[in-house]
Amino acid sequence: MSVDPDVMRYFPSFVSQEDTRALVQRFDGVFDEHGFGPWALEHDGEFVGFTGLLVHTFPAHFTPAVEVGWRLRREAWGRGFATEAAREALRIGFEEHDLDEIVSMTVPANVRSVAVMERLGMTRDRADDFDHPRVEEGSPLRRHVLYRLSRSQWAGS
């Protein structure tokens, strides 16, 4: 399956089949350990991407943290799938797993991802912007914005 370059524009590199297998193993590990994870999204019986919850422990001022994240095939953009699926992921995180807070992060240029965060009612404090330690120094993709949503904000939404 070919990958539209738009899908990986804001990631440091494309992923090989081997990397993808490792990623799926990592995702399985999140489900095993926490009972949640990044769920596969299907539309009309076709796999169109994933949306769900990931646990981050890399060194940063807000970790350890649970992130809601998404990655969809290019043909699945513009149909509300990411936002709809992310709302369900937030519900599961807050209501079934009693999480106090869920975050989301991306590079500032990824306006589609930021728009999903804002549609979900997540908010950004510029003081939370950070350099992602897993992206090499000097890369234009190192600076990240952080959005947060607390359980009380979710309950009041």
- Which residues of this protein are in contact with ligand COA, per CB under 6 A? 7, 10, 69-72, 77-83, 106, 110, 112-113, 116
Say how far apart CA 59 and CA 28 lie, in whole Å: 22
Whose Cβ is closer to ligand COA: residue 92's or residue 135's?
Answer: 135
Cβ of residue 85: shortest distance to ligand COA, in angstroms? 8
- The set of residues, in sequence order, having a beta carbon less than 8 Å from that of 61 and lying 6+ positions away, is 128, 130
Cβ of residue 137: shortest distance to ligand COA, in angstroms? 20
Whose Cβ is closer to ligand COA: residue 88's or residue 152's?
Answer: 88
Cβ of residue 51: shortest distance to ligand COA, in angstroms? 7
Closest C-alpha among 100, 85, 76, 96 to residue 40: 85
Whose Cβ is closer to ligand COA: residue 89's or residue 110's?
Answer: 110
Nearest residue to ligand COA by CB is 80
Cβ of residue 11: shortest distance to ligand COA, in angstroms? 7
